[in-house]
Amino acid sequence: MLAMSPTLSLTAVSLWRWDAERGRERHLLRDVDWTVRPGEHWALLGANGAGKTTLMNIAGAVAHPSDGTVDVLGQRLGRVDLRELRERIGLVEARTGRAFRGRMTAADVVLTGATGSIALQRHRLDSDDCARAAALLARFGCAALADRPYDACSQGERQRVLLARALMRRPSLLLLDEPATGLDLPGREALLAAVATIAEQEPETATVTVTHHVEELPSSTTHALLLRDGVAIAAGPAHETIRGDLLSACFGTPVRVDRVGGRWLARAEAAW
């Protein structure tokens, strides 16, 4: 049986920008190798400024690297229309929700995912789209929100609605950029429970969750990549990489990690 092609493959990827203040190039990423396969669920961990957003922009076909090769969904960046490629990638980030205002309901927001647009384009939708939107809202515990104005939903409810939106076109790659930021404890747990269903319900979809905090990782996490100053210091199965010694190196401070019920807990230890 042939192995499935990687969903995402980066080889020796570097990215730099000209720093006018210092009069030299500044590396944002340096020689990153990373392979994500169908059905894998990655955590991308690192401190502020580690290069997580830059790496996500490359993975999401938003930016090109300065050096190295990147294949996303079997397409080599630099040889493909990025706009068409992005249509096959799901994205959940806090700022996405700011575009949905006015009288749009939660169901309307989810349906925009079928067309990849901000405006609701009902003339492009069919009964299958409506059925999938309703099923996704129900799966994520949001069925009762369907007719509620999106603006009237809590932050946690909005994030689950955006997750449903991102899955409308059954993307092969789903990027979750700090999806739990600003959520209270119940909202965070409801969101992570929703994310965890993807492994079962969308078995070929690969996900990448970016966060500073291991407590914000769903129990479905299978792998992790640790970034520090643009360099990947560890990458591999979650049980091998989400460890105290490696997280200590990643964040530059002593860290203790425990795992309880399939989830991770971390705390910084006194360095003196």
DSSP per residue, 12-37: EEEEEEEETTTTEEEEEEEEEEEEE-
**Cβ atoms 12, 6 nearer than 8 A:** no
Average pLDDT over residues 23-48: 92
Least confident window among 97-106, 107-116, 248-257: 97-106
- Alpha helices (runs of H) in 9-144, residue ranges in sequence order: 52-59, 82-86, 106-115, 127-139
pLDDT at 118: 84
pLDDT above 90: residue 129: yes
Average pLDDT over residues 211-235: 95
pLDDT at 97: 61
C-alpha to C-alpha distance for 271 and 238, rounded to whole angstroms: 25
pLDDT at 119: 83
pLDDT above 60: residue 134: yes
C-alpha to C-alpha distance for 63 and 15, rounded to whole angstroms: 10
pLDDT at 261: 87
Average pLDDT over residues 183-188: 91
For the chain, the domains span 37-65+81-88+172-272, 96-170
C-alpha to C-alpha distance for 30 and 1, rounded to whole angstroms: 35
Average pLDDT over residues 68-84: 91
Mean pLDDT taken over the chain? 90
Average pLDDT over residues 148-156: 91
Higher pLDDT, 204 or 98: 204
pLDDT above 60: residue 125: yes
Average pLDDT over residues 110-122: 88
pLDDT at 177: 93
Exposed (0-12), middle (13-18) or buried (19+): which is 202, by Cβ within 10 Å?
middle
57 — phi, psi (to 5°)?
Answer: -65, -35
User: What CATH number has the domain spanning 37-65+81-88+172-272?
Assistant: 3.40.50.300
Exposed (0-12), middle (13-18) or buried (19+): which is 58, by Cβ within 10 Å?
buried
Q: What is the pLDDT of residues 51-74, one digit of tens each?
A: 999 999 999 999 899 999 999 999
> Among 62, 77, 57, which Cα is nearest to 9's?
77
pLDDT at 84: 86
pLDDT above 50: residue 255: yes
pLDDT at 2: 45
Higher pLDDT, 95 or 190: 190
**Cβ atoms 180, 191 nearer than 8 A:** yes
pLDDT at 95: 67
pLDDT at 1: 39
pLDDT at 272: 44
Query: SS3 of 155, please?
Result: helix
Split at pLDDT 50, 70, 90, the class of 269 is confident
